[in-house]
Structure 1
Amino acid sequence: MLSIRQLEAAYGTSQVLFDVALDIAEGEVVTLLGRNGMGKTTTVRAIMGLLAPRGGSIALDGADIRGAAPETVARRGLGLVPEGRQVFPTLTVRENLVATAANRLRRPQPWTLERVYALFPRLQERADQYARTLSGGEQQMLAIGRALMTNPKLLILDEATEGLAPVIRAEIWHCIAALKAEGQSILLIDKNLNALKRLADRHYILEKGRTVWTGSSTDLARDTELVHRYVGV
């Protein structure tokens, strides 16, 4: 479904990505691992059209989307839960969810307010509250719900549980597992390796803007030296 080869990207004169390769098949959960500053978020920004790549290729279902505008990428079926959540603070929970809602891919069972509320009951309880009044965990639920309301082919979560309380992290992981069970394709960035190993089909590790390793959760669990070297835990 998504295929990336030899991706290069920079911020001005500072090159961050040098050779990123990544593949995600339909229905897969794939992670992007690495220490801070290795290029994970930059890769996501390049995929979503928020940063114009310098080289390489990004293909979605065989069609080149490298350098496409963010709205074009979103219409093609990519949904982003960005680092820092970035919900609309002056809109209510309900307004956040419907603001970008669409079913462009004509899914037979699309995500609706009712389905999102069933996944995250707290959002229904706070439907008329402004997003800025929510806790960090509730804002993350809202960011995930908002992305799901676009009915994405691929859901991308950048720092899925960063800074959240343990009980909220557990709820987010439970919901991601439910999405996987439904066949949702997901690209995950997070630091919780135990949760990622339980959920993901495959993992990619970035080091200084390059893909240096890929393998299954079994491979990742087996190679503790590699994890210490590239992920730092």
Structure 2
Amino acid sequence: MLEVVGLETAYGSSQVLFGIDLSIRQGEVATLLGRNGMGKTTTVRSLLGLTRAKAGQVRFRGERIEALSPDRIARMGLAVVPEGRQIFPNLSVRENLLAFAARRNASETPWTLDRVVALFPALADRFGHMGNQLSGGEQQMLAIGRALMTNPHLLILDEATEGLAPRIREEIWRCLAQLRAQGQTILVIDKYVQRLVKLADRHTLIERGQVVWQGGSAALAADPSLWHRYIGV
């Protein structure tokens, strides 16, 4: 589904990514892990076309996208739950969801308002509330639901559990496990390795804009020294 080869990205004269390689197969849950400031969010921005790649190739569903505009990439079925949620504060929960409704894949069970509420029952009684009236956890649920309403081929979650209470984090993990069971292809950026090794199929660790390790969950779980060396947990 996604194939990244030799991705290099810079902000002006400051290069951030140095040849990132990453691949995600359809129906797979993959992670991108590393300490803060190591290039994870820049990688996501490069995949989305928000920061133009300096070199390398990005193929999404067989088509090169590194030179495409962000809106074209989004219409191809790549959706992101951004760090910080970034929901519309002056739109209601219902309006936030409907504003992004689209059919970007041919699933027989597309995401609808009813399906999002079934996934996040806490939103059911909040449909008429404005985005800025929600708690942080409710905003995160709304951000995930909004991305799902596009019916994406690939869903990217950038620090989806950051700053949330433990109970709400558990709700997000439950949601992601359910999405995996339904065959949704997902790329997760997070720091809770113990949860990610149970959820994801494969992992990519980066440090200073370079891939330092790639492998499956069994290998990552078996070597906690990798967690301490590259993730800081």
Residue in 2 that maps onto 1:137? 137
Aligned-residue offset at 1:22: 0.3
Aligned-residue offset at 1:226: 2.1
CA deviations 1:43-65 (Å, max 9, x no partner) are 00000111100000000121100
Residue in 1 that maps onto 2:9? 9
Alignment of 1:96-175 (within 5 A): 96-175=96-175
TM-score by length of 1: 0.98
What is the alpha-carbon distance in structure 2 between the residues aligned to residue 105 and residue 200 of structure 1? 22
Residue in 1 that maps onto 2:89? 89
What is the alpha-carbon distance in structure 2 between the residues aligned to residue 68 and residue 147 of structure 1? 20
3-state secondary structure, aligned to 1:3: strand
What is the alpha-carbon distance in structure 2 between the residues aligned to residue 226 and residue 175 of structure 1? 27
4+ residue runs over 3 A deviation:
none
What is the alpha-carbon distance in structure 2 between the residues aligned to residue 169 and residue 106 of structure 1? 30
Kept in 1: contact 2:81–2:144 (CA 8 A): yes
Alignment of 1:1-233 (within 5 A): 1-233=1-233
- Identity rate, percent: 61
Point out where structure 2 has 5 or more consecutive residues left out of the alignment: none
3-state secondary structure, aligned to 2:109: coil
Of residues 222-231 and 84-93 in structure 1, the stretch that sits farther from structure 2 once superposed is 222-231
Aligned-residue offset at 1:100: 1.4
Kept in 1: contact 2:104–2:153 (CA 8 A): no
Aligned-residue offset at 1:231: 1.1
Aligned-residue offset at 1:105: 2.3
Letter in 2 for 1:29: V
Aligned-residue offset at 1:107: 2.2
TM-score by length of 2: 0.98
Root mean square deviation of aligned Cα = 0.8
Aligned-residue offset at 1:191: 0.7
What is the alpha-carbon distance in structure 2 between the residues aligned to residue 104 and residue 201 of structure 1? 24
What is the alpha-carbon distance in structure 1 between the residues aligned to residue 10 and residue 53 of structure 2? 7
